[in-house]
Every structure is written in C-alpha cells, then in structure tokens.
Amino acid sequence: MGNPISRELFLERARFRFGNQYDYAEIIYKSYKTPVRIRCTTHPVKQISITPEKHLQTTGGCKYCLREMRIASLERELNRASPASRALVKLLDQPLIQQLDQPPIQQPEPQPAPIFHKEK
C-alpha cells in the first residue's frame, strides 16, 4: 500500500534515465503523482515543477532541453534537405521577439504648404 514507487526507487530510475542531467537535491518526495521541484543541471536558471511520474515518462521536464532536442532532431531530418530548409531551421531558432522587432512602416513626412510670394 501507499506509494507504489518510493523516493529511492524514483531517484534510481531517474538517475538511470537521465544520469546527472537533473538535480534532485531539493525534492520533497510525497508520492509518484505529487509534483516535486527539480533543476536541470544544464539550464539551472529555473526550477522545474513536475510529478515524478511525468518526469520519468517524458524528456524530464526541462523546456530548454526539449527545445534543443527538437531543433537537433529537426536538423537531422533536414540533413539531406536543401540549404533553404536549413536556413528555415536557423530562422526558427531565433527568439520570437527578434522576428517581431521590425521597424515601423515609415510615414511620409508631411509636406509644408507652399508659400506664395505676395506681389508688390
């Protein structure tokens, strides 16, 4: 009864699957389905809140690692593709904010009203 997977078993499975990719020092293990806080050792900027179950079923929960994996697999797929497709991958790798950071459309300067010289 109780937890089908204990803290020790979870850590054992997690380390077997991910090696030293994740830091489990700060976890408070309650159950297999209660979120714990882990940290990606490659991207330690943000703690990841994930259930032990999800952690073992997915790539671990680090969105940065997931993104790198997706880009890597996309690049593998496009390995035999045209250079144009590779350029697209590079484009996808750009932060979204840069793509949106286009200069505003220039409005034409209002022309000053023509000055008519008064005849003397």
In the complex, which residues of this chain contact Zn ion (CB under 5 A)?
A: 40, 42-43, 62, 64-65
Report the residue number, 9 or 26, with the smaller CB distance to Zn ion.
26
Report the residue number, 75 or 85, with the smaller CB distance to Zn ion.
75
Report the residue number, 30 or 70, with the smaller CB distance to Zn ion.
70
Please state, as a whole number, how many other Cβ atoms lie within 10 Å of the Cβ of residue 99.
10
- Exposed/middle/buried for residue 17 (C-beta within 10 Å: 0-12, 13-18, 19+): middle
* Shortest distance (Å) from residue 53 CB to Zn ion: 19
* Shortest distance (Å) from residue 17 CB to Zn ion: 14
User: 35 vs 25, 27, 47, CA distance in Å?
Assistant: 14, 9, 12
* Shortest distance (Å) from residue 105 CB to Zn ion: 39
Please state, as a whole number, how many other Cβ atoms lie within 10 Å of the Cβ of residue 76.
9
